[in-house]
Chains A and B, each alone.
Chain A
Amino acid sequence: MLHLILFSVFGLVCVAGAINLLVQSHPINSALSLIVVMGSLAVEYLLLGAEFVAAVQVIVYAGAIMVLFVFVIMLLNAGEEERTKGSRVSLLIGIPGMIMGSVLMAWVLITHSGTHAVEAGALPGAPREIAQLLFHEFLLPFEVTSILVLIAIMGAVVLAARPEPLQPEGKN
């Protein structure tokens, strides 16, 4: 019972955050709501017993990636979005479409999946077990991802670097 209540509460927080992300016009507000979403998702993970994943979610996702987002928003001094004709049209079509799609999907899922329940903390995802999997069965993807991260870092540095001045300054 408690499981259900907790799930619903934090589920509603997730959805509220997501909708707020769509509604807000200034990107910083959207970023903050996204952080809220990630936080409540971490709780959801905990409810499912995935401790390691929840911790990583908060540390990496909410703590690093979203901070990066906020820095970039700050750096580029992004302002509010203007309202143009195109944006009004897309809002008019998009929001009802999304709602309809979600309702349809929810109905399909609920009626067809049965009520097989998942217990709280059904699968304890202790770091030890995860590490076992990570370094045994999933060693190759692990190594590849690490190289991927390395490449991403290098790429980011190159892409975001200030371009060299094309002509040398005058002799002074």
Chain B
Amino acid sequence: MVPLSYYLVLSGILFACGVTGFLIKRNIITIFMSIELMLNGVNLSFVAFAAQWHQLSGQVFVFFVMVVAAAEATVGLAIIIAVFRTRETLNVDQVNLLKL
């Protein structure tokens, strides 16, 4: 019998790793993958709570999260390709034309 809090801890660790990767990585694609990691951690949390409270809507919501993540990944990667074409680099620190 696994206490709910264990699931939440795991979810939290995944989320924290995602945030850390998002902040410390310089490759755009790696940053994107950290975002996906974050979303996964959240999904786990949803499913755990759905099991806890015996509500299936938790799982349905996970479904929606995945769909939206897919869409977001699609568009994001397309943008990355477009940026790569103009900037010739995947280093996010060099995409700084909006600097004041």
Chain A residues with CB under 8 A of B95: none
**A117-134 CB contacts (< 8 Å) to partner B:** 117-120, 122-123, 125, 129-130, 133-134
- Do the beta carbons of A15 and B14 come within 8 Å of each other? yes
Q: How far is the CA of A81 from the CA of B24 in the complex (A)?
A: 12
Interface 1/0s, chain A 132-172, versus B by CB < 8 A?
01100110011001001101110111111001000000000
Category for how many chain A residues contact B: 35 or more
- Do the beta carbons of A76 and B90 come within 8 Å of each other? yes
Partner of B29, one of A11, A69, A94: A69
Chain A residues with CB under 8 A of B37: 18, 21, 34, 37
Chain B residues with CB under 8 A of A109: 5, 8-9, 12
Q: How far is the CA of A152 from the CA of B16 in the complex (A)?
A: 28
- Mostly, the B contact residues are helix
- Do the beta carbons of A155 and B29 come within 8 Å of each other? no
- Mostly, the A contact residues are helix
Interface 1/0s, chain B 38-52, versus A by CB < 8 A?
001001100110111
Q: How far is the CA of A78 from the CA of B30 in the complex (A)?
A: 10
Category for how many chain B residues contact A: 35 or more
- Do the beta carbons of B78 and A159 come within 8 Å of each other? yes
- Do the beta carbons of A50 and B62 come within 8 Å of each other? yes
Chain B residues with CB under 8 Å of chain A are 1-10, 12-14, 16-21, 23-27, 29-30, 32-34, 36-37, 40, 43-44, 47-48, 50-52, 54, 56-57, 59-60, 62-64, 66-75, 77-82, 84-85, 90-91, 93
Q: Which 7 A-B pairs have the closest CB atoms?
A: A152-B71, A117-B1, A159-B78, A156-B78, A18-B17, A113-B5, A160-B78
Chain A residues with CB under 8 Å of chain B are 3-4, 7, 11, 14-15, 18-19, 21-22, 27, 30-31, 34, 37-38, 41, 44-45, 47-50, 52-53, 56-57, 60-61, 64-65, 68-69, 72-73, 75-76, 78, 81, 86-87, 90-91, 94-95, 97-98, 101-102, 105-106, 109-110, 113-120, 122-123, 125, 129-130, 133-134, 137-138, 141-142, 145, 148-149, 151-153, 155-160, 163
